[in-house]
Chain A
Amino acid sequence: MTDAPDAGAASPARSCIYLDHSATSWPKPPEVVDAVVNAMTTCGANPGRGAYSMALAAARLVFESRRACADLLGVPDAHDLAFVSGCTEACNLMLKGLLVPGDRVVVSSMEHNAVSRPLHVLSSAGVRVEVVQADATGTVHAGDVERAVRAETTRAVICQHASNVTGAIQPIGDIADIAHENGALMLVDGAQAAGHMKVDLSALDVDAYAASGHKGLLGPQGVGVLYLRPGLDAAELLQGGTGGGSSEEESQPQGRPERYEAGTPNTPGIAGLGAGARLWLAHGEEWRAQEQRIFRELKEGLSAIRGVTVFGPASDEPCVPTLSLVSDRMDGDRIAFLLDRRYGIAVRSGLHCAPWAHRTIGTLETGAVRLGVGYGSTSDDVAAAVAALTELLA
């Protein structure tokens, strides 16, 4: 077996079949690109600092983006959404801002490093971490969470909304009920859910929810949001300038959202995220249905390849459009490399920054190949991926 010429060596911007949407969405919708460019070219001033026309335009752009994100996520008051650098910062903020030494937390075994690594730091500081095992599809069962929560006084239950490895959607509403019935907070990493599925934070009744701006929400990289329910105050991670209010005060303003937004905001990123949120508000139902249809084609096609094991819920079970697979014919890194070089198909192998999840589904030692669809994916894309893998693994 020989490697194909690297068609992308001369042109990193070559066209490819992009199936790494779980990592980040690509291409971005033109409306998102236009919003980013517009922010940089027509209102590049520092938002919320000056009150001249361009600074006001930038501040209004951030304001409107926040409102769009709040509308999309079912947040009644946009004050409760803070813009941060990404879901990782949002997870760090909700965990390090809410937990203190002596707290006990219950967390699922499917968490990404954006949750497990902050918890590792917190455990060194005296936070006790109880892990609840998910099943082999990556699904967390509410009954297992309930048993763990009831065993001892628990400060918080921490669970992803959807898996970045198997696409499993966790029963967050049920788990939140369990948490609250037992006096615990419900903290959610929504990195893989927002956009790909309808997220209504009012209905879910969670206490904090971290979301990525550049994955399903279609914004550029470098932006995310953190929701904190009214009245739940996390300690901010950063202190600094916030523009308005009382600059002469030594301490950080406690009002939302500025408390959590020290420093100049990522206005172009926020503008792009706002554009993505507006697109989901306008087309969400249609786009999600299409994603799910294409994803089912992918999952069923891959599941039929001899020697391939696909990880995730059954095809007729709800999930976000992400799956992982292993083959008994070839290692995952080789599969990903050849898909790229021979077929121009972009996927990711390895552990996907989620060793806990791979341990849960039994692929910690081998890793897996992950494929995800999203905005811009077509039936032809997934058919090409299935055909390529069928040929590679024959």
Chain B
Amino acid sequence: MTPGERRFVAYGFASVHDALAAESALTSAGIAVTAIPSPRALGELCGIALRVEPAQAGVAEAALEVAGLPPRASAEIDDI
């Protein structure tokens, strides 16, 4: 599979601590999540972002809301 063949939703957070807390919350909710370098599409070039499958975005955002960790930004991105 080459880049661009798959799409993901990426979430950015206020801090690395928040990103890892969100990763923990998503994993606990049974959502497949991958930590990635923060993509430019999130408006910042440093830090850690999380990506999930687009089909799971709604469930993921609900889980993050429940955990008190709403993303600071989100964007649809190509596979990286």
Contact = CB atoms under 8 A, between A and B. Distances in A.
Mutual binders A and B: yes
B13 interface: yes
A258 interface: yes
Nearest to A258: B15
Given A50-B37, A63-B20, A63-B21, A253 B15 contact: yes
Nearest to B20: A63
Interface in B1-46: 13-21, 24, 35-38, 44-46
A241 to B, nearest CB: 9
Chain A, interface SS category: loop
B69 to A, nearest CB: 10
A171 interface: no
A47 interface: yes
Contacts of A247: 44-47
Interface size range on A against B: 20 to 34
A128 interface: no
B13 A244 contact: yes
Interface residues of B, number: 20
A51 B14 contact: no
In the complex, which of the residues B15, B45, B48 has the most CB atoms of chain A within 10 Å of its own CB atom?
Answer: B15
A253 B20 CA distance: 17
A243 B20 contact: no
B48 A242 contact: no
Nearest to B36: A51
A59 B44 contact: no
B17 A248 contact: no
B21 to A, nearest CB: 7
B45 A258 contact: no
B17 A79 contact: yes
A60 B17 CA distance: 9
Contacts of A257: 15, 17
A37 B63 CA distance: 36
Given A48-B47, A245-B47, A66 B17 contact: yes
In the complex, which of the residues B13, B19, B37, B47 has the most CB atoms of chain A within 10 Å of its own CB atom?
Answer: B47
Interface of A: 47-51, 56, 59-60, 63, 66, 78-79, 242-248, 253, 255-258
Interface of B: 13-21, 24, 35-38, 44-49
Nearest first, the 6 closest Cβ-Cβ pairs linking A and B are A244-B47, A48-B16, A247-B46, A244-B16, A51-B37, A63-B20
